[in-house]
């Protein structure tokens, strides 16, 4: 219900705009975001533009994710995320229904 999807604003006429959602051209109302302009990436919810996506902040988030491991200052090798081979190989997390249970004491 609360889902807002990122899209690119391609036309704007007053408060009536159209966003491109990866091949879907959707009419939107930009009444809530007078500061957006054509070309901006925005978040759209239920036919309304809710906010302009701040690309600089997005990049900042990415750089935080790239930071070195918290412990030991040692950068760990990450496991490649491939396909079928991953099935059943993940340690430390049980299959759905076990582990991290809602309302149950952990095993």
Q: Which two tokens stand for residue 59?
A: 């990049």
The answer to the question of residue 90 lying near other proteins (CB under 8 A) is yes
Q: How far apart are CA 62 and CA 15, in angstroms?
A: 32
Q: SS3 for 63?
A: helix
The answer to the question of residue 73 lying near other proteins (CB under 8 A) is no
Applying CB under 8 A, what is the total number of residues that bind other proteins?
66
Q: How far is the CB of 21 from other proteins (least distance, A)?
A: 5
Q: Could you give the strand order of the β-sheet that contains 5-13, starting from the edge strand earlier in sequence?
A: 16-20, 5-13, 41-45, 48-52
Binding site for other proteins (CB under 8 A): 1-7, 21-27, 29, 31-34, 41, 43-48, 50-51, 53-55, 57-58, 60-62, 65, 69-71, 76, 78-79, 81, 83-84, 86-88, 90, 92-107
């Amino acid at each position: 219900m609360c889902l807002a999807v990122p899209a690119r604003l391609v036309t704007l006429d007053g408060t009536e705009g159209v966003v491109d959602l990866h091949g879907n051209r959707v009419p939107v109302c930009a009444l809530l975001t007078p500061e957006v302009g054509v070309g901006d990436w925005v978040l759209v919810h239920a036919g309304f533009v809710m906010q302009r996506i701040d690309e600089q902040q997005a990049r900042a988030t990415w750089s935080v994710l790239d930071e070195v491991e918290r412990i030991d200052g040692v950068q760990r090798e990450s496991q490649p995320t491939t396909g079928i081979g991953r099935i059943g190989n993940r340690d430390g997390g049980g299959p759905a229904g076990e582990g991290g249970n809602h309302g149950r004491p952990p095993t």
